[in-house]
Chains A and B, each alone.
Chain A
Amino acid sequence: MRWINWALAWMAPAALPLAAQAPQPVQSSRFVAVLDAAHGGQDSGGKIASGQMEKAVTLAMSVRLRSLLGARGMAVVTTRESDQALPPDRRAEIPNHAHAQACLILHATESGSGIHLFVSSIAPSQIALFLPWKTAQSAWVTRSLSLAGTLNAALLHAELPVTIERTFLPGLDSLACPAVAIEVAPNRAKDGSVTAEPDDAAYQGKVASAIAAGMLAFRSEKSEP
C-alpha cells in the first residue's frame, strides 16, 4: 500500500490550481478568511470623488477588516499589505494555497450606491480532484452564493443598501473557495445626494463591522461545498 500513499502524496498538490509554489497553508482547524484588496501599484483602479484612488480605499478597507476578523478568532490572510501590484493569477493562488473558507475581494467605486456583492457568473459544478484553473470557482459557486446571502443579511441588518449580482471578474473564477467580490459605493440619500464617500472612515467602519458580523455568521455554517 505504500505506493498508493506515495502516489496520493504526489498528486495532492495538483488538486489545487497552481498552488504548488505558494507558501505553507494556514492550520485548517481555524476558519481562514482571505482579504484581497483589489488593484495596487500602477493599477490604481477607479477614482473616488474625494480624489482618492480605488487601490488606497480597498487597502484601507482590508486593514479594517483584518483587525475585525482577527478579533473574532479568524485566521486572516491578505493578498497585499502595501501599495503593490499583483497579477490576477497570484491573487487566486494565495487563497487557494491557504485553503480559505471564505475569500472577500474588496473594490470601491463612485458609481451607484451602497454595497454591491458579486458572485461569479460561472455555472455551478461538482467538486473534483482536479479543478481547471479558469473555472475552479464553479465547484464553489453555490457556497459563494450562500456567503453572499449571509453578508447581504448582515449588511441589511446594519441598514446599508445592498445589491447581489453575478459577474465575470478576472481572477474570481480561479478561486477554489467561497468567494464574494464586495464593491463599496457611496452612501446616498433618497434624493441621490452623496452622504458618505467610500473612503469616509465612519462609513468604512460601519461596512466593515457589518461584513465581520456576516463572516461570523458564515463561519457557523458548514464550510464544505
Chain B
Amino acid sequence: MIPRYQKILFGLLLVASLAMTGILWHLRNRAHQRLLAGSDSAPTQAPEVTAAEPATLVVASDADGSLLPQDRALPLPADPGTRARVLLGNLLDLYAAPDAAHPVAVGAAGIAQVFLLPTTGETAQATPGAQLAVVNFTGAFVASHPSGIETETLTLLSICATLRANLPQVVAVRFLVDGQQQPTLAGHADLTRTYLTANAVPSGGPTP
C-alpha cells in the first residue's frame, strides 16, 4: 500500500518535470530564432578574382621535337607552389586539347601537387634561394601518356622549361607518380633523375 503523501509527491515531481521540459523546449526555440536573426547569409563582398598577369608556357611539339615559348595572360595565385601547379595545369590543358601538337590526355588533373623545396649542397651554395620543384603526377596521367623517348622527354622538358620561365628560383625538378618514385614516365624517360631547368631551354625544330 503506497502512502498518500508519496502519491502526492510523485504527482508533483511529474508535473515539475513536464513543466521543465516545456520551458527547455521554449528556450531552445528562442535561442534558435536568435541565432538565425544574428547571422546574415546574404553576400556582402564579391569574391576576389586575381588579375591576369603575363606568364610563359613552353609548349612541346612532336612534329619537330621543339619547345616553343608561348606568352599568356593567366590569373595566378601568389603562393609559389600553387602558382607552379596552376602554370603546369594550364600547360597540360594545352596538351589535352584535340588539336594539340604534343597530345597527352588528362590535362590539368594530371598534376596532383607541386612542392617547392630549398636546394641543398653545392647548388644551395652557388645559388642562394634556389629551389627544387617536386612535381607529383597522378597515376591516370602516366597511364595515358604516349610511349616513346621523344614524347616523354618533351613532356618533362616542357615542364622544366615552363617552371624556369616563370619561377627562376627553381633550378631543379624531380618527378613522382602518386607520391612514389617510378623508373620511367611511360617506359622510356628516366624519372629517377633530377632534371636541371638550365638544360631545358626552348629549342627550334629539326636539323635542316
Contacts and interface: CB of A to CB of B under 8 A. Distances in A.
A85 interface: no
Nearest to B147: A46
Interface bracket on A: 20 to 34
Interface string B170-200: 0000000000000110111110110100010
B147 A167 contact: no
Nearest to A47: B147
A168 B147 contact: no
B115 to A, nearest CB: 21
Nearest to A153: B207
Interface centre among B146, B184, B189, B207 (most CB of A within 10 A): B207
Contacts of A109: 146-151
A47 B205 CA distance: 25
Interface residues of B, number: 25
Interface string A26-68: 0000000000000100010111000000100000000000000
A43 B206 contact: no
A107 B188 contact: yes
Nearest to A188: B63
A158 interface: no
Contacts of A39: 187
Nearest to B184: A170
Contacts of B184: 170
Task: Say whether chain B's binding surface is mostly helix, strand, loop, or mixed.
Answer: loop
B153 interface: yes
Interface in A116-143: 116, 118, 121
A89 interface: no
A132 to B, nearest CB: 14
A188 to B, nearest CB: 8
Contacts of A111: 62, 146, 148, 150-151
Interface in B31-64: 62-64
A70 to B, nearest CB: 26
A90 interface: no
A169 interface: yes
B202 interface: no
B75 interface: no
Contacts of A114: 206
A168 B189 contact: yes
Contacts of A46: 146-148, 186-187
A161 B208 CA distance: 9
B65 interface: yes
A102 to B, nearest CB: 18
List the 5 closest A-B pairs by CB distance, nearest first.
A46-B147, A109-B148, A168-B190, A111-B151, A163-B65
Given A118-B149, A167-B188, 13 more contacts: A46-B147, A109-B147, A110-B147, A111-B62, A112-B63, A112-B151, A116-B65, A156-B207, A161-B206, A162-B207, A167-B153, A170-B183, A170-B184
